[in-house]
Chains A and B, each alone.
Chain A
Amino acid sequence: MDKTQWKIMKEIADLEKTPQGAYNFRVNGQLDDRHTTANIDIVSKTDKPGIDIIIKPGTKGESVHIPVVLSQSGLTDVVYNDFYVGEGAEVDIVAGCGIHNTGCETAQHDGIHTFHIGKGARVRYVERHYGEGPGTGKRVLNPKTEVYLEEGASITMEMTQIRGVDSTIRDTVAVVGPGAECIMNEKLLTDGVQTAESNMEIILNGDGATGRVVSRSVAQGDSVQVFRPCMTGKAKCFGHVQCDSIIMDAAKIKSIPAIDAQDLDAQLIHEAAIGRIAGDQILKLLTLGLTEEEAEEKILEGFLS
């Protein structure tokens, strides 16, 4: 990888060199580097682009990094990654995609991820999306993520898109088994004429299943955001959807949360709010010696942290 590609790597996976544990670096649609461990295997698919990541039952304290870097204008990269997390494993999975587009053609990455999480396994999934580059070509990221949680399993998904992505359509679906838990934390910032659409669905499919969607976004400039989080309860379960957005300039935000109870004992809540930065927040920070620009920056930084 060259200097620019490592810079992207830093943005999306906080990596400045190859990480410890298992990893698979994909650069411009090709495998760049891979490392497996005794407990985590990574195998290339033979029928389509992508990899299978197989984590042995009982694996503890290990991590897998699977970042994708695109620096070639005009490339559309579609990749299918399937994760098989064995029973009782506890792992961190760091994904993410960064695009550096210097040309006038669109650079696009569609990451299609499927997680099969075994009984009692715990996964922390971190996904960062980022775009940059002086070219006029668009930077497009359309991830599709499916999660299947067996009994007592859990996943915390931290999905962040901060700056530089011109267009994104994010589809995330989780099916949560008995006593299992799915937490989706989404952070999104758009500006200019960027567009972002996020469709998140959690299906609570067993007694004691828990789901939580916490979405925070900031829309600046003329950007447009649409959110459709949906929580479906099909058993004695608990689900909570919380969407908060800060709207600025001439941006537009549409938030359409849904809760769908299909069981008498399903307990589902949704909250959604869109508003500008509160004037009293700015005033408070001014009294602490910040300028208006600094105050705004701190408020947004905190909101999306």
Chain B
Amino acid sequence: MLEIKNLSYQVDADGENLGILQNIDLTIPDGRLVVITGPNGGGKTTLAKTIMGLVKPTAGQILWNGTDITGLSITDRSKLGVSYAFQQPPRFKGLRIGDLLALAAGRELTHAQQCSYLTRVGLCANDYIGREMDASLSGGEVKRVEIATVLARGAELMIFDEPEAGIDLWSFSQLTKTFRALHEEGSATLLIISHQERIIDLADDLVLVSRGHVEAHGPKEDILPRLLDGMTVARSCYGKKEAESHG
């Protein structure tokens, strides 16, 4: 179980104290598929990064399976079963995709295993295992390899930061199948930052993060109508302004 208690992350910018995350309380039970959504700049990625240890919170606690991991390094968190797929993954000159998958898995992988991870993100293994993770790959390809590394890691907590970004429709369809299958296996808790309806559809629970706060958290069936209402309000405001400006 993931427990986030009173978590804050504040930064000083030009003498002003900005609350990127403010007193976040969130509990995610094991085996759930939770989608974190909300407006850009609302704090979703920062929240995910604090869980992985990529951002150090200024206050609060993160507990994973009852262990306080707030002060632990990224490496130690990884060893405890936390994993994270970057929104903008890095490229590596010289490091091959097969090598990266083996590093993620922590062991040598057979061709069949490498193939299985890559197929699950819509990549043909024979074309990619030996390729370098460098600038010759497109943004969408890098993104899919990134997701494959998290699958290969096989951690108990998998965090995916906007996995759909830059991915074409065909691969996206494969990706949603993969998330569904992972969830059905039930061996991992999935935390996915996304705005995509088809990913939101997969969720057990939704978390709405906005302006550094958890604005709403609960079963999808409860939260989604509220979100859609919010969108309707936003659209109608926009429509009103448009009408005014044209009037």
Contacts and interface: CB of A to CB of B under 8 A. Distances in A.
Contact of A305 (B79, B88, B89, B94): B94
Contacts of A302: 92-96, 99
Nearest to B93: A303
B188 interface: no
B90 A289 contact: no
A286 B89 contact: no
Nearest to B159: A287
A250 B59 CA distance: 37
B95 A289 contact: no
A171 interface: no
Interface of B: 52, 54, 73-75, 78-79, 83-84, 86, 88-90, 92-96, 99, 103-104, 106, 149, 153
Contacts of A289: 75, 78-79, 106, 153
Contacts of A280: 86, 88, 90
A244 B73 CA distance: 31
Contacts of A78: none
A281 B93 CA distance: 10
A287 B103 CA distance: 10
B96 A284 contact: no
Interface in A254-305: 278, 280-281, 283-292, 298-299, 301-305
Given A289-B79, A298-B103, A283 B74 contact: yes
B80 to A, nearest CB: 10
Nearest to A246: B93
Interface range, A side:
20 to 34
B93 A287 contact: no
Interface string A232-261: 000000000000100000000000000000
B75 A290 contact: yes
A286 B75 contact: yes
Contacts, number: 61
A284 B93 contact: no
Contact of A284 (B73, B79, B86): B86
B129 to A, nearest CB: 14
Contacts of B84: 287
For the complex of A and B, the 8 pairs showing the least CB-CB separation, nearest first, are: A302-B95, A302-B94, A286-B74, A280-B90, A289-B78, A303-B94, A281-B90, A288-B104
B97 to A, nearest CB: 11
A216 interface: yes
A272 to B, nearest CB: 14
Contacts of B90: 278, 280-281, 283-284
Contact of B74 (A281, A287, A305): A287
Given A287-B86, A288-B78, 10 more contacts: A280-B86, A280-B90, A287-B83, A288-B104, A288-B106, A288-B149, A290-B75, A298-B99, A302-B93, A303-B93
A302 B133 CA distance: 10
Interface in A90-138: none
A56 to B, nearest CB: 34
Nearest to A244: B93
A271 to B, nearest CB: 11
A197 B149 CA distance: 39
Given A284-B86, A284-B89, A302-B94, A290 B103 contact: yes
10 contacts: A216-B93, A216-B94, A281-B90, A286-B78, A287-B84, A288-B83, A289-B75, A298-B95, A303-B95, A304-B94
Nearest to A286: B74
> Which of B79, B96, B104 has the most chain A CB within a 10 Å cutoff?
B104
B180 to A, nearest CB: 24
A284 B86 CA distance: 8
Nearest to A281: B90
Contact of A281 (B78, B83, B92): B92
Nearest to A299: B92
